[in-house]
Amino acid sequence: MQPTQFIWLNGSFVPWQEAKIHVLAHALHYGTGVFEGIRTYATAKGPAVFQLEKHLERFLYGASCLRMQVPYTKERLAEAVVATIRKNDIKECYVRPIMFYGYGELRVNPAGCPVDVAIAVWPWGAYLGEAAITAKVSKVIRIHPHSSATDAKITGHYVNSMLAGLDAVDAGYGEAIQLDYEGNIAEGTGENFFMVKNGVVATPPLGTILAGITRTSVITLARDLGYTVEERPLSLAEVLKADECFFTGTATEIAGIGKIDDTEFKDAPGPVTKRLTDAFKTIVKAENEKYMHWLTLVNK
Ligand code: PMP
């Protein structure tokens, strides 16, 4: 990780090295936090934050799932994100807001714990590398939708993701694909999953998966480009016969999958994946007027 100068912590800027919490903070013990991953792109119009409002809506939704009394409005949080990017004088970065139950009491019930909020920014390149990804279908299934609010980005959920990811890496693959409790494809450990067959784009429905902002953006973009997009359960057998598969995510962006278990997808990323990637790039670079409302310009 490449540190920047300042982290926004509970309303003020503190030097990166001093943004610390107590070891008895509730979230450290019980995973009771929510977070976001947001990308800021360098554009001809200056730094531009991709889908800031949608990310903050998901952030606040997650906080409501954990029954947090949030000390800030969405507008205030948006200002804080922009201020943190400006304060660090950074042109292109990953933005990590986090909100969690802090130090107070240590019962599982968080009553008596403050809600702490932090925002950090730092440079982060291609998350899964530039080459086509190899993915292993993990034995560790995605958490059951009745076990938690699976569509929220809750810190504790990532134990499940980490275990699946480590399994895949141990077996020599780049990333894991998790199945849902019914055995259908759910998602990657930090990405949503898409497949293309005969020009039709398909992706698992909401329910078990994280409601990815890139997922929604890519669905909109694909439909705008004339593709049919289906949100429906995808079996592994169907996916292995697909023409193309790809992941979407803030860190990952759009990334072609070259292999799932022993099945290879030759010449990945395929033509539809490439077309979506090219269109996505022009949008995040503020080169497509039609989608400018997806961007928040830092220097207004
Ligand atoms: N699924 C999981 C489990 C994730 O952690 C992420 C990353 N936030 C995604 C999907 C993709 O979501 P987004 O496009 O909002 O980054």
Dump pLDDT digits (tens) for 241-273: 999 999 999 999 999 999 999 999 999 999 999
Whether ligand 1 lies within 6 angstroms of the CB of 175 is answered as no
Question: Which residue's CA is minimally distant from atom 5 of ligand 1?
Answer: 190
Residue 51 clears pLDDT 90, i.e. is over it:
yes
Q: What mean pLDDT comes out for the span 275-287? A: 97
Question: Which residue's CA is minimally distant from atom 12 of ligand 1?
Answer: 212
Q: Provide the pLDDT for residue 300.
A: 79
Whether ligand 1 lies within 6 angstroms of the CB of 165 is answered as no
Q: Which of 250, 253, 254 has most ligand 1 atoms within 8 Å of CB, for mutation?
A: 250
- Cβ–Cβ < 8 Å for 158, 140: no
Task: Quote the ligand 1 centre to 112 CA distance (angstroms).
Answer: 31
Whether ligand 1 lies within 6 angstroms of the CB of 192 is answered as yes
Between 92 and 124, residue with greater pLDDT? 92
**pLDDT cut 70: percent of the chain above it:** 99
Which residues are within 8 A (CB) of 179 and not within 5 positions of it... i.e. 6 or more apart?
Answer: 137, 138, 141, 142, 185, 186, 236
Q: What mean pLDDT comes out for the span 90-101? A: 97
Q: How far is the C-alpha of 218 from the C-alpha of 264, rounded, in Å?
A: 24
Residue 297 clears pLDDT 90, i.e. is over it:
yes
Indicate the pTM of the whole model.
0.97
Q: Provide the pLDDT for residue 125.
A: 79
- The per-residue pLDDT of the chain, averaged, comes to 97
pLDDT band at 24, cuts 50/70/90? very high
Q: Which atom, in ligand 1's list, is nearest to the CA of 58? A: 15
For residue range 65-88, what is the model confidence (pLDDT) as tens digits? 999 999 999 999 999 999 999 999
Q: Provide the pLDDT for residue 131.
A: 79
For residue range 54-67, what is the model confidence (pLDDT) as tens digits? 999 999 999 999 99
153 is catalytic: yes
For residue range 137-195, what is the model confidence (pLDDT) as tens digits? 999 999 999 999 999 999 999 999 999 999 999 999 999 999 999 999 999 999 999 99
> CATH 3.20.10.10 region(s) of the chain?
133-284
> CATH 3.30.470.10 region(s) of the chain?
6-122
Element (H, E) at 138: none
Q: How far is the C-alpha of 300 from the C-alpha of 46, rounded, in Å?
A: 9
Q: Name the residue among 184, 250, 255, 212 with its Cα closest to residue 50.
A: 250
Start-to-end Cα distance in the chain: 29
Whether ligand 1 lies within 6 angstroms of the CB of 210 is answered as yes
Q: Provide the pLDDT for residue 124.
A: 87
Question: Which residue's CA is minimally distant from atom 3 of ligand 1?
Answer: 190
Residue 204 clears pLDDT 90, i.e. is over it:
yes
Asked: is 133-284 a CATH 3.40.190.10 domain? The reply is no
- Cβ–Cβ < 8 Å for 104, 114: yes
pLDDT band at 103, cuts 50/70/90? very high
- Cβ–Cβ < 8 Å for 201, 227: yes
Which CATH number applies to 6-122?
A: 3.30.470.10
For residue range 116-145, what is the model confidence (pLDDT) as tens digits? 999 999 998 776 667 789 999 999 999 999
**Given the residues 20, 153, 285, 290, the one annotated as active site:** 153
Task: Quote the ligand 1 centre to 192 CA distance (angstroms).
Answer: 6
